[in-house]
Amino acid sequence: MKKFTKESLKSYSGKNGAPVYIAANGKVYDATNSFLWQKGKHMADHHAGQDLSPALKRAPHTAELLERLPLIGLLDEEK
């Protein structure tokens, strides 16, 4: 499975037509086709291309909803 760093994830922010990748709990998901992640933004507050694990703790849902998206890689949380 593809490995991402926090740095390499930044180019998948959904801006200027880039793919929309989001990371949480060490996993990277492809949200490009998600209605709720259009242009890399979710619920007025969350931006793609980064590790959103802390923000997920405040969300009205668990990581279970991320399983709706294709899992495409793992995040190396050290780098």
Q: Which residues bind ligand HEM (CB under 6 A)?
A: 22, 24, 31, 34-36, 42-43, 45-46, 52, 55-56, 58-61, 65-66, 68-69
CB of 76 to another protein, least distance (A): 31
CA distance 45 to 56: 11
Which one of the spans 11-19, 31-39, 48-56, 69-77 is the region binding another protein (CB under 8 A)? 31-39
Name residues whose C-beta falls within 8 Å of residue 65's C-beta, 6 or more positions apart in sequence: none
E strand intervals along the chain: 2-5, 21-24, 27-30, 41-42, 46-47, 71-76
| Chain residues that interact with another protein, rule: CB under 8 A | 35-36, 38, 43-45, 59-61
